[in-house]
Structures are given as C-alpha cells and as structure tokens.
Structure 1
Amino acid sequence: MADWTEFFLAATAFLLSHVLPVRQAPRRWLAARLGERGFLVAYSVVSIALLAWLVVAAGRAPVVVLWEAAEWQRWVPNLAVPVACLLIGFGAGPPNPLSFGGRGAGFDPEHPGITGVSRHPLLLAIALWAAAHAVANGDLAHGLLFGAFTVFALSGMVAIDRRKRRQMGEETWLSLASSTSLWPLAALLNGRWRPRGLVDPWRLALSLLLWMVLLALHAPLIGVAPLPIGVTARVVKSGTLVDQQPCSTPVQDSST
C-alpha cells in the first residue's frame, strides 16, 4: 500500500482543489483577496498543476495489469485528442447559458454554434481525453484515473442539464436548448440543427496550437512519447513497464 501513497495523495489533493473552492464561503474569501479574475486564474493554474501531478503519480504507482498492451491502443488517444482540442478551442469563450460558467448574453438558440455539437463541449472534451487514455493504458492506476475522469465528465453533463432546467424553468430551458445536443451531434442527426457559416479560423488555429503544445509537452512532462509511429514509449507488458520500440519493431518483453 505504501507504493500507492503518492497516487492517493495526488488524487486527494486534486479532489479537494475542486471541492473546496466552489463552496460559497471559501470562494468568497478567495475572490475577495484575489479578485474574481485572479481567483479564476489561480484556480486554473492549481488545477492543471495537480492534474499533471496526478497523471505522473499514476505512472509511478505499482503496475497491476488489467489488459495487455497492443499497438492499436496507442492510436485511440491520437485520434480522440485532436477532436477534444477542437471542442476546447470552439467551446471556450462563446456564449453558452446551458453549461457551467457560460454567459447568456449573445447566445442565439437558432444559431447555437458549438452547442449544436454538445451543450457541454468542455466536459465532452474531458470525457474523450480520459476514455481514450484509459484504452491506451492497461493498468489499474491509469484505469482508476482515467475511468474516474470519464465518469465525472459524462455524469456532470447530465447533472448540469438537470440543474439548468430547474434554475431556468422548463419552458425557458427548452427554448434555449431546442437546437442543441447533450450527446455529440444528436441535434444534427435528428434534424434540429444544421451548421451555418464558415468555421472560425482563429478558433481552428487555437485548437491546432493546443494539440501541438500537448504533443510537445507530453514526453517531457508525462515521460511517455504520445505518437504511435517512430517513437519510443513505455507500455504495460506482462505485469511490468517495458520500453516499446517504434511501432514497426516488435515489442520485446524484458521479463523473458
């Protein structure tokens, strides 16, 4: 159990960092001293730092194999994360009274933008990121980490919808949400929403930049090269972490 200490400490710190500041009394105390903008900046920086620690701690935890590693699994996050970056790039900032922290001013129910894809693009991005990384990491620590994030994000989407309906009232909520989706692209598939206009090039560039930054920082911060071709990474194999050569080269188990 001692070897799990860092993982549990990081998980506890991350949980407390999200539970305590959102309570009214601690939030008012912090906002009074930091200002609302300062509070949000500090909250974001601390959250990112603790998330990085939690991911690193999961990599240091004892290896308990849930499933054997395969080369195709590494493609899953490499396909899902660019989509998550698009959701973040287009979901951060625009008016969206239907999700957490979103402003209502300027929101047009007839032209809902990213909310036509999902009312909660940032939570959907977290769910995609976490679920994809759960597939690519077949050990217990990463299963707990990414599984918890996936459940948190998806259940949060449903919970926010319920809370917003109560706060706004059924009629107001339905009028605002008429062309939007809870689950990805539901409004498009059933004909309630059709994309209009050109894609914002600045937000597209921001999404691409975010993806490139994540790729560049993944190896130095997390210790694992993310690309599945022409790189060396660490994977779970027969109960141990072993080096994986480029995907054109078979993986050699160090235990044999």
Structure 2
Amino acid sequence: MAILILGIILFLGLHLVRVVAPAFRSGMVDKFGENGWKGIYSLVSIVSIVVLIYGWSISPTINLWFPPAGMSHLTVTLMLLSMICLAAAELPAGYIATKTKHPMILGVKIWAFAHLLANGDLASVLLFGSFLAWGVILRIALKRRERAGLVTPRAFVSAKYDVIAIGVGAVIWALFVWKLHLWLIGVAPIPM
C-alpha cells in the first residue's frame, strides 16, 4: 500500500505544481530551460505513473464496502461523459470547453467519482479519492487564478469541435467498454 501512496503523492503532487506553485515551475524553467523542464516533468510523470500503477496492482484487497451491482452500469454511463470532456480538452474550444472551463479536470473528476461508486476496496478508494480531491483542489486554484487575472479562459472557436469531442469520446468509451478496459486494467467494466 505504501508504494501506491508514494505513486499517488508523486503523480498528483507533480500535477499540482503548475497551478498551486507557479513560482516553483518558473524557477525550474529558469534553471533548466523550457524544454529541460518539460523533459524532467515528463520523466517524473512517467516514473510516478509506473509507481502508482505498480503500487495499485500489488496492494492487498481490503474491502471497505461492497457496491451494489448496478453501480458498474452507472459508472460506465458516467464514463461516457468523462471521455467526452477529456476529448473536448484536447480540441479547440467549443461549447463544452467554454462552459466547463476546464474539461480535462472535469473529465478526471467524473472518472474518479464514477470509479469510487463501483469500487469499495481500500486501494481503489485511495486512488480514485485522491484523484477526485486533486481535481477539486486544482479547480479551486484555477478559479482563484482566473479571478486574479493570471489565467485567461479559452475562447469559443466553433461548435463543430463539440461534435468531434462527442464522437471521439463515444468511440474511446465504446472501445473501453468493449475490451480495452479488460486488456489494460484486467477488469471488465460490466461483469458478464
């Protein structure tokens, strides 16, 4: 369990730096240059996600509760919304991106909340609960930075990007429901 907690702290701590401690990021860019910092950031991100995944995979199963059977269906449904938000975050701004302001953060929060509904073991609660808390903290920090004029919200470009986000999100979601989640995570999203 300690390796999982270490992975969570490394990954989420690193991903809070940019918003919660922008001076640290600026100092690192000054010291290593933009590309140097991006290289370090990417390397630490990869290492931390590997530690997190490994820690989760070796954690003992300690059940805190047993979710009702219908929770897996609700999780799968919520994941469609999550995938659409994640797709919208990677495209020029449509209504989804401008109305949610931070579709990547919203997508992660929906993903974490949905998985908390379907998983009652301690390792899952630590993992998904941490990501949900991270999303909430990050959104609050970004709201404060927007009010201070340090962050400019994305400007609307076209509604066609919403259609693309819905299509891409739905295709990725369908692939995960079909077999991808089973292949990557080892668990079928809807037990058969």
Aligned length: 183
Q: Point out the structure with max Rg over C-alpha.
A: 1
Determine the structure 2 residue equivalent to 1:65.
Answer: 63
Determine the structure 1 residue equivalent to 2:92.
Answer: 94
Q: Distance in 2 between matches of 1:223 and 1:49?
A: 21
Determine the structure 1 residue equivalent to 2:34.
Answer: 31
TM-score normalized by structure 1?
Answer: 0.58
Instruction: Determine if contact 2:87/2:169 at 8 Å carries over to the other structure.
Output: yes
What is the correspondence of 1:214-253 to structure 2 with a 5 Å cutoff? Answer: 214-215=176-177, 216-226=179-189, 228=190, 231=191, 246=192
What is the correspondence of 1:77-92 to structure 2 with a 5 Å cutoff? Answer: 77-92=75-90
Instruction: Determine if contact 2:83/2:170 at 8 Å carries over to the other structure.
Output: yes
Determine the structure 2 residue equivalent to 1:5.
Answer: 2
Aligned-residue sequence identity (percent) comes to: 26
Question: Could you tell me how far 1:52 is from its partner in structure 2?
Answer: 6.0
CA RMSD after TM alignment: 3.4
Q: Distance in 2 between matches of 1:115 and 1:76?
A: 24
Change (3 A) 1:162 1:17: closer
Determine the structure 2 residue equivalent to 1:120.
Answer: 102
Question: Could you tell me how far 1:83 is from its partner in structure 2?
Answer: 0.5
Q: Flag structure 2 segments of 5+ consecutive residues without an equivalent.
A: none
Q: Distance in 2 between matches of 1:52 and 1:25?
A: 26
Change (3 A) 1:44 1:94: farther
Question: Could you tell me how far 1:43 is from its partner in structure 2?
Answer: 4.8
Q: Distance in 2 between matches of 1:45 and 1:211?
A: 28
Q: Distance in 2 between matches of 1:45 and 1:202?
A: 31
What is the correspondence of 1:95-174 to structure 2 with a 5 Å cutoff? Answer: 95=93, 113-115=95-97, 117-167=99-149
Q: Flag structure 1 segments of 5+ consecutive residues without an equivalent.
A: 96-111, 181-195, 232-245, 247-256
Question: Could you tell me how far 1:5 is from its partner in structure 2?
Answer: 3.1
Higher-helix-fraction structure: 2
**Greater relative contact order (Cα 8 A, min sep 6): structure 1 or 2?**
2
Q: Is the deviation greater in 134-143 or in 60-69?
A: 60-69
What is the DSSP-based 3-state SS (H/G/I as helix, E as strand, rest coil) of the residue aligned with 2:3?
Answer: helix
